[in-house]
Structure 1
Amino acid sequence: MDGTLVMPLAAMRAQDWAALSDLLDQALDLPPAEREAWLNALDGEHLIHREALQALLATQAEIETGDFLAELPALPGVASEAGDAHAGGQLVGAYRLIERIGRGGMGEVWLAERADGTVKRQVALKLPHAVWGDAFTERLVREREILAALDHAHIARLYDAGVDAHGRPFLAMAYVAGQPIDVYCRERALPLRSRVALLLQVAAAVAHAHARLVVHRDLKPGNILVGADGNVVLLDFGIAKLLDGDQTRDTALTAVSGRALTLDYASPEQIRGEPLGTASDIYSLAVVAYELLTGGRPYRLARGSAAELEEAIASAQAPRASDTATDASTRRQLRGDLDAILNKALKKRPEERYPTMDAFAADLRRWRDGEPVQARPDSAGYRMAKFIGRHRLQVAAGGVVMLALAGGASVALWQAHEARLAATQARTEAATAKAVQGFMESVFISNSANQPDPERARATTARELLDRGAERIEKDLAQAPEAQLRLYELLGEMYFHMALNDRSLALRRSGAALAARHFGAGSLEAINASVSLAKTLAEVGDREASLKLLLQADEALRARGQEDALARMEIDTTLAYHYFNSDPPQGLARARRAAAIARQQPPSQGSVGALHMLGEAANATGNLVEARDALAEALARIDRRPDETVAVLPLVLSTLGDVYARLGQLGDARATLSRAYDLAQRGSDPYTLHIAGLKLSRFLVANGRARDAIESGRAAAAWAQSLKGDHEFGAGPAVMIGSYGRVLLVYGDARRALGYLDDARQRLPAALPDVLGPFLATHAEAMLALGRTADAAADLDQAAALIGDRVDRNTESVRAVRRRYWVAVGKAQDALADFEAHAPQVDQASTPFTRLRRQAEQATLLLAVGRPAEAHAAASAVLAAMGQLPEQGFSDDVQARMTAVQGQALLSQGRPADALPVLQQALALHRAAFDADHSPEVAAVRAALATAQRRAP
């Protein structure tokens, strides 16, 4: 065939794709035996499509099996990068390919890693077979900008997008090691409730995307992976999934990749090529749910022409889920509520489905909890049946069934009253949800391609769309204050996640003002809006204004008489956070009250947050058993409701790891902290990731593992420095930078450490004395290591003034550095006297490890004051005690230092020959423990060793 008659696919315009699609429909309508003659008869303007049609028709048998994308045919005119063009070790942009982990018709997925050393992270690198040119590249850049707003534990994060040196675009996604959700459920024979729990995780992720203006459009088991920990990760938000101008007109790329990809899970409107909204995702997830719960799909699509496909979708009525399931037990569980839920979500008309993904998930949760579902017609009998189902024991024990059957007047009146209240509340909620949904969709419909400048519409950024929506809230929803309030909250949160703090605060303030004006200053709506604003103020660093608002909300809630439990829990949790540093006992009291309420509530973000805050507050005040138990409760609640609470799992685990460390369970501590860090790396929240990294790094440094702390500490510091002084995370970034300086200092690199410590000092708010005091002590320690004793003295004087006479682990860290300063300036007697005068309080944190490290400091001070025999005995006692520790691996630094004290003590006693082998051992231990030859400890051991070698016979 003449190559000049082949049109390159990459050069096709929209009308060219339409023409090719129409021709393909005609060919597929023909019997297979007649297609070749039809192809040969093509002429005129259709001739240029003949070879592409021939290649597509050759794959018809594969299309029938549903494996079309496994091997897309080599289409003429496309610059192919398929086959072996990619190989392990090859560079694509800043990434080095490791191994191919997937291949589809449109491209490949490779396990890769950064090759430039900036971030040590493995990614899933998506590489299209075809070089699509500038249009595709621009789309990747625009989608990366909008997808950056997706921040959810169950969504695989998009790290990067770009074009390599050969013009090939790529997407770098979080690498997820897991199984497709259907395979995961099938191989483990999961019960129905466990499968619904996984679906709720998916729904939470999709709802998060919908709230941030992204529609997935390709929900299927292959894009929903489940890790070994049972957590879902949703993939493929990467190409042509935005609810913007493209909702009314697909690109050529979508036309090639989208239709064959989504047939079995596509919505009716998707098949017909109509504009897509969030209802399309609801339908697709319902197909996935149907398959997971029954073992079969609601229908199989005949792989015919577009017309035949549309007819099949429009006319095929999905059988009831309970009729499809083959297992009798499963059929019984599906019958009734789950049948109704799936039937509603699979409605052909989008407006007949659930209005939002949250509404779909809420009905699944109602089924799980034994409550009436919205998908079924309401009736007194149905409500009573659900009540009995939820309270079988109480009904049996108290004769409630007989009372209900008797139908007494008081019961009937109570039921009527409750029904009216429930109906009113349901109508308000439904109206609010509908108004919010309609408003959000209208923002994007107004930005569709159906306007004078569609190209400009498609270039609109997420920030611009949010700005447009924010400007319209007050005018468009003047008659719907509940919807206004919800949108102020929603858009405020979205602005905050985009680091647009001023806009976020402005919307939260508007919400608080609206609530006070419309519902009353003492209303629950006004209180909740004030608390929301207060939390945002705290997160951006304005703690004073935040505390003032919280105390006002606290007083307003008290004045209402009968307090709302959830509002009280939220206020006390947030106040506990405020008092965490400034007034730990008050913080603990607030946290205990919030946790008491949380224990009476079902699992939720709020109840988990309250228990986590109690764990933090109890840990800070030395109530370690209480802290451990509260955190265990929080973890149990996360297990029960992972769809809503799993995002905080790394933070809860990090706190628990810190508690384990203080209890002396160092192996459990490291395992828990490492798990928290690993989970956070799979998520998309940088603050959570680096808080987990900070706590792991601190633990490792405190327990003789400075070398192991380098990576997590460096990553946290690099992220914190990238914020360039933005205080949206309060003192967190400064603490991360300072903590990495501490890692470098303990590792023996005082000069580099000082650079990070100076940077942290400039960022650290002076209003946090409990943080600033220990930080200044670390800064002083760096000065001592560099021989700048005068500067160290100034730091220590300021730190001592900040801590006052308090006795806790923070103040003890300041005193320990001050003692090292006194030794350095020749006042070792003062250091020993201070050591003996400030014995730590015996509490739950007085573990063998803490006592061991205090004894090691005593041995060092005895040597410094010229009492070598006592120093040698004390060091020997420490080394002997180490042999009795359950986890000796966390004391390598202590072993190195105590061996050095032994050798130096022997040298001071005039026994150089005895000191020589001990000092040689000490030098080897220091190198093993610190992996550095430039630390002050190594220098001191080397000097003592040289002296012993000169004096030894």
Structure 2
Amino acid sequence: MSASSPAPDSVRQRPATRLWVQALAHLDELLQQQPEQRERSLTDIAQSQPHLHSMLVSLLAAEAQAESAGFLEPAPRMAAALQSGAQLGPYRVESQIGAGGMGEVWLARRDDGLYQGEVAIKTLHPYYGGGALRERFLREAQILSRLTHPNIARLLDAGVAGDGSVYLVLEYVRGVSIETWCDQRKLGVDARLELFLEVCAAVAQAHASLVVHRDIKPSNILVTDDGQVKLLDFGVAKLTQTDPPAERSDLTRMTGRIFTPEYAAPEQILDQPITTATDVYSLGVLLNVLLTGTRPYGNANNNVEIERAVVQDEPVRMSRAIAGASDPRRIAEARSTTPARLQRALTGDLDNIVSHALRKAPAERYPTVLGLADDVGRHLQHQPILARAESLAARSRKFVRRHRVGVAASVFVALAVGVGIAGVVWQAQVARTEARKAGAIRDFLVGIFERNSVAHPDGAKARQTTAAELLAQSAQQIRTDLREAPEVRQELLGVMARLYSTMDMQKDALPLLQDRLASQRTALGNDDVAVARTLSDVAFSQVQIGDYEGAQRSANEAIEVFHARNAESALEYALAHGTLAQVSYRLGTGQDGTMRRHYQKAADLFAQYHPAHKWRIEMLLGLSRAANLDQDREKGLVYAEEAIALIESQAVDADGIVRGSAYQTAGNALNWLGRNGEAEVLMKRAITEYDHAGGPEHPFAIEGRRELGAFYGWMGRREEAKELLAAAVTAQERAKGIDDPELTAPLRIELGRVLLLRGEYAAAEPQLLKAVEAWRRSGTPTVGITMNLARMYMEQGRFTEAAQMLAGADSAAEKAFGKGSWMHATALNRIGGLHLARGETREAEAYFQRTRADAQDPPGELGANRAYAELSLLRLSAMQRDSATAEQALALLSQIESSSARGDMPDEEVTAHMLSGIGLMRQGKLLEAETHLKQAVTMRERMDAPESLWLAEARLYLAQQQYLAGNRDVARGLVDRAAEAHQTQAHLGPQHRELMKETRRIVSF
């Protein structure tokens, strides 16, 4: 949006331009003088500045001619409307860029050879050739001639056309309004404040030149593409020096009330004196709009109602306006934040700054624009501001003035309420009892932290005590020293358990909860609601430590008690259903509907009884995971997006962990749908939320890195995945221990899988075996891990161990996840791969054909498992020297490259290139074969470790092609590198040894 006219500062220094500036300044003075005095002034000017005198005489003649034509009547010799291509002095008119009730603005270009550049030419409409509007038009020129500032669109020139009409040549600003510019770029609050300060600088310069703008609004403030503010349209501005209040010229009578009501100050509406405080008020309205998207008195379009509100009503504070907006989410998104964060940002300093600028009385506002700008700058620098909210007394006086009748009625209501106080005196005794109980709990909790304060006998040593050690000491004290106060003991056991749970120390929380439960059973019996609440908490902790069967028993017992007591509105009742859903997922029974049913029940309960609780989000995310298990990926995304919508609309009280979980789940859903770019953005956003909430070693932050690492692994970005996952495993081992089944084991699985896919078998095996052990101890199905181990063993030729890992894998996967599910299709492929590695081609083909038939890919799409099966069938064809291998492989490669799941199939794409190259090489098409085989090697080198057997395989086939093409040294180098990889491996499958022998025979070593 920068003006395209070059070097406007140099243009401004031209003699002709300086002469026009002088002429316009003198013209205003001459028009105010009586005829005799005007003649004397002209005579003086003629003696000292004859060129200026000639110009003034022409201007006065044009003015007199316009005046004689009348104001509203068309001039007898009315000027013709301006047309494209017309010539105004040295400027050629190109096109109209604006028009209003009194004039037009045209884009023009100087064409006299002095310089090239665009300008804006402003003309008065032919109908208004004289009178007050012409006076206003010339006044604008006089005002602009005073102003020189980078944030004010400048007057470059002026002139009189051949028909006597006056035109102004202005700097052409190519831009959009400040409000539009901010919203298009979704600028945050601080960025908007920085831009607002540029506006203040421009207005302050105008005030320093004794000019009050009087019409500050977004459409009069443009921002260029490079972010420069330009203040426009001084057509209704006021010269404080030459407009004394007592005298009202035609211009004042005609234009004194020309303003935009939504941005006008009360004194403009009341036709009271205008001062610089008027612009301060308008700037306050502008800042309100930039920060909230709303005006201080609402968005009514009726001017009468707007003017009444400006004069009589108190403006709505910005923080309240956000809370009461019809669409706070849209407003917040335009400012790159959430409604809750935006409301917090506006509360306090910014509310007070805008309220101070919008005071009704000019004397109560900021005395200058610089004062307003100074407070905004102080806020940005986190320094105390000068503006303060109105005192309670002042606000009370205003309220009483506005609501005399209502206040009087309220006095009687207050008296009536006082009579009712006697009815609640009986509650005082209950309150005193609860106060004693609370006091005992308070004293105990204070005592926890006194243990490591200076009051301790060995204060220096005590202050080294960690929070975990303090909790452990306190928990022991509760369990041993408070048995004479069972109610206090039960309460504190619950408090301590929640503290442990908050720190993700579920192993420590569980004994306290079980102790509390036993105490409650003794005191209350087994069917009390308090017992059910604790049972629900116990079940939650049991899930977290991997005791799934125990969690199932506790949650079911809690649900039975809640039912019996008609207490289904209890928070813990909904949580018990959520716990049972998690148990179903962990036990691998999610496909039978149990997981989905419990999550749906929990989600419905939260929506009905606890709509703002953050656990409502977890239930929706659980439904998303259940939909993924049902292969309904689109529905999974819908649930995740519903959770995000609740968070960002502030419908739930979500913290960073909850927000991160929602973004992470949505990212996973997008990954399943092949929308990998969007998925990565949300996964990284989740990690940012986790890190901010709990630090990079918080369990959720580590889990977020696990998901992102797995995502990178699937996409072939395996070096990144390896680094991310290895660091996460180390951190998780510190936090949860090496045998933790809930968080550490899943991390090991992902790290082991990435190492496996890179060909680092020696490093992959211990990670996968440890995960198997942890999951077997917790009762979690291990079919996914064992299939990864089997894949590694078959490449290493450890066929017996591979067969053990795959025993019953297809039936187990079908039972747990459903026929044709991703896990079931993977099991079929692994078993088929084992038969293929052992040379059992008929059995291998049968399993791959089953995958081809059963895999549940979206209609018309090719998924990773079916692609793997198709490629394996092509391997069988290649082994049998089928001449159609090349064409079939090329067709399959085209399918993979056009699939929406291509990003998740880098290994399959590599294999398709390799098989295409093999087929073409055997057809004698060596150059075409080279393209595909080199691509396979390049992709493998990017994804795999140097010792990868799959990389060695690709190099050996390329070596065959290179030898046949005559590049014998290249071929031998490729064989040598493949041999190095083979020698690095502790175990080598016969399929790899046979390929090496075949290649050596071809290359003639």
The TM tier, using the shorter chain, reads 0.5 to 0.7
State the Cα distance separating 1:490 from its structure 2 match: 2.3
State whether structure 2 residue 582 is matched by structure 1 residue 577. Answer: yes
**Letter of the aligned partner of 1:915 in structure 2?**
A
2:863 and 2:345 map into 1 onto residues whose CA distance is 60
**1:544 maps to which residue?**
549
State the Cα distance separating 1:828 from its structure 2 match: 3.0
Alignment of 1:642-721 (within 5 A): 644-682=654-692, 683-684=694-695, 686-721=698-733
**2:835 maps to which residue?**
822
Cα distance 1:915–1:573, how it changes in 2: closer, same or farther (>3 A)? same
**1:323 maps to which residue?**
390
1:437 and 1:860 map into 2 onto residues whose CA distance is 69
The question of whether the paired residues in 1 share the 8 Å contact of 2:448 and 2:470 is answered with yes
**2:449 maps to which residue?**
444
Alignment of 1:873-952 (within 5 A): 873-882=887-896, 884-885=898-899, 891-909=905-923, 911-912=925-926, 914-928=928-942, 930=943, 932-952=945-965
Cα distance 1:563–1:764, how it changes in 2: closer, same or farther (>3 A)? closer
**1:775 maps to which residue?**
785
**2:645 maps to which residue?**
636
State the Cα distance separating 1:433 from its structure 2 match: 5.3
State whether structure 2 residue 657 is matched by structure 1 residue 609. Answer: no
The one of 595, 598, 602 aligned to 1:590: 598
State the Cα distance separating 1:652 from its structure 2 match: 2.5
2:394 and 2:903 map into 1 onto residues whose CA distance is 53
2:678 and 2:652 map into 1 onto residues whose CA distance is 23
State the Cα distance separating 1:481 from its structure 2 match: 5.9
1:623 and 1:511 map into 2 onto residues whose CA distance is 42
SS in 2 for 1:765: helix
2:646 and 2:913 map into 1 onto residues whose CA distance is 47
State whether structure 2 residue 613 is matched by structure 1 residue 599. Answer: no
Alignment of 1:240-259 (within 5 A): none
The question of whether the paired residues in 2 share the 8 Å contact of 1:748 and 1:932 is answered with yes
State the Cα distance separating 1:466 from its structure 2 match: 2.7
How many residues get paired?
Answer: 596
The question of whether the paired residues in 1 share the 8 Å contact of 2:795 and 2:837 is answered with no
The question of whether the paired residues in 1 share the 8 Å contact of 2:533 and 2:573 is answered with no
Cα distance 1:504–1:812, how it changes in 2: closer, same or farther (>3 A)? same
State the Cα distance separating 1:592 from its structure 2 match: 1.1
The question of whether the paired residues in 2 share the 8 Å contact of 1:735 and 1:764 is answered with no
SS in 2 for 1:541: coil
Cα distance 1:423–1:869, how it changes in 2: closer, same or farther (>3 A)? farther
SS in 2 for 1:582: coil
State the Cα distance separating 1:815 from its structure 2 match: 2.1
State the Cα distance separating 1:825 from its structure 2 match: 1.0
Cα distance 1:425–1:558, how it changes in 2: closer, same or farther (>3 A)? farther
The question of whether the paired residues in 2 share the 8 Å contact of 1:595 and 1:610 is answered with yes
State the Cα distance separating 1:704 from its structure 2 match: 3.2
The question of whether the paired residues in 1 share the 8 Å contact of 2:613 and 2:652 is answered with no
Once the two structures are superposed, what CA deviation does each residue of 1:900-925 show, in whole Å capped at 9, x if it has no partner?
Answer: 11011223445556534432333234
Cα distance 1:935–1:196, how it changes in 2: closer, same or farther (>3 A)? farther
Once the two structures are superposed, what CA deviation does each residue of 1:296-342 show, in whole Å capped at 9, x if it has no partner?
Answer: 999xxxxxxxxxxxxxxxxxxxx99852599999x99xx99xxxxxx
**1:92 maps to which residue?**
none
**Letter of the aligned partner of 1:739 in structure 2?**
E
**Letter of the aligned partner of 2:599 in structure 1?**
A
Alignment of 1:801-812 (within 5 A): 802-803=812-813, 806-807=818-819, 808-812=821-825
Cα distance 1:193–1:662, how it changes in 2: closer, same or farther (>3 A)? farther
SS in 2 for 1:564: coil
**1:100 maps to which residue?**
none
The question of whether the paired residues in 2 share the 8 Å contact of 1:432 and 1:480 is answered with no
Alignment of 1:88-167 (within 5 A): none
The question of whether the paired residues in 1 share the 8 Å contact of 2:920 and 2:929 is answered with yes
Alignment of 1:17-32 (within 5 A): none
**1:509 maps to which residue?**
514
State the Cα distance separating 1:661 from its structure 2 match: 2.0
TM-score normalised per structure 1: 0.54
Cα distance 1:628–1:194, how it changes in 2: closer, same or farther (>3 A)? farther
Cα distance 1:756–1:421, how it changes in 2: closer, same or farther (>3 A)? farther
The question of whether the paired residues in 1 share the 8 Å contact of 2:825 and 2:865 is answered with no
**1:753 maps to which residue?**
764
State the Cα distance separating 1:804 from its structure 2 match: 6.0
State the Cα distance separating 1:508 from its structure 2 match: 1.0
CA RMSD of the aligned region, Å? 4.8
Structure 2 residues without counterparts, runs of 5 or longer: 1-286, 295-315, 324-334, 357-385, 404-409, 967-1005
SS in 1 for 2:776: coil
SS in 1 for 2:741: coil
Once the two structures are superposed, what CA deviation does each residue of 1:657-706 show, in whole Å capped at 9, x if it has no partner?
Answer: 22222223333222222322333333335321222122222223223333
SS in 1 for 2:655: helix
The question of whether the paired residues in 1 share the 8 Å contact of 2:497 and 2:512 is answered with yes
Cα distance 1:776–1:198, how it changes in 2: closer, same or farther (>3 A)? farther
SS in 1 for 2:390: helix
Cα distance 1:645–1:430, how it changes in 2: closer, same or farther (>3 A)? farther
SS in 1 for 2:546: coil
The question of whether the paired residues in 1 share the 8 Å contact of 2:937 and 2:954 is answered with yes
Cα distance 1:567–1:680, how it changes in 2: closer, same or farther (>3 A)? closer
Which stretch has the larger CA shift, 937-946 or 521-530?
937-946
The one of 492, 497, 500 aligned to 1:487: 492
**2:148 maps to which residue?**
none
**Letter of the aligned partner of 2:644 in structure 1?**
L
Over alpha carbons, which structure has the higher Rg? 2
SS in 2 for 1:764: helix
1:506 and 1:565 map into 2 onto residues whose CA distance is 23
**1:621 maps to which residue?**
630
Cα distance 1:898–1:421, how it changes in 2: closer, same or farther (>3 A)? farther
Alignment of 1:2-41 (within 5 A): none
1:583 and 1:290 map into 2 onto residues whose CA distance is 52
Cα distance 1:493–1:732, how it changes in 2: closer, same or farther (>3 A)? same
State the Cα distance separating 1:637 from its structure 2 match: 2.8
1:287 and 1:687 map into 2 onto residues whose CA distance is 29
SS in 2 for 1:838: helix
The question of whether the paired residues in 2 share the 8 Å contact of 1:638 and 1:646 is answered with no
Structure 1 residues without counterparts, runs of 5 or longer: 1-183, 200-226, 234-285, 299-318, 337-377, 386-411
State the Cα distance separating 1:292 from its structure 2 match: 6.4
SS in 1 for 2:863: helix
**Letter of the aligned partner of 1:947 in structure 2?**
Q
Cα distance 1:672–1:189, how it changes in 2: closer, same or farther (>3 A)? same
Cα distance 1:416–1:722, how it changes in 2: closer, same or farther (>3 A)? same
The question of whether the paired residues in 2 share the 8 Å contact of 1:538 and 1:730 is answered with no
Identity %: 23
State the Cα distance separating 1:436 from its structure 2 match: 3.5
The question of whether the paired residues in 1 share the 8 Å contact of 2:874 and 2:889 is answered with no
Cα distance 1:563–1:578, how it changes in 2: closer, same or farther (>3 A)? same
SS in 2 for 1:711: helix
| Higher RCO (CA 8 Å, separation ≥ 6 residues) | 1
Cα distance 1:296–1:951, how it changes in 2: closer, same or farther (>3 A)? closer
State the Cα distance separating 1:856 from its structure 2 match: 5.1
**Letter of the aligned partner of 1:823 in structure 2?**
L
**2:312 maps to which residue?**
none
State the Cα distance separating 1:435 from its structure 2 match: 4.8
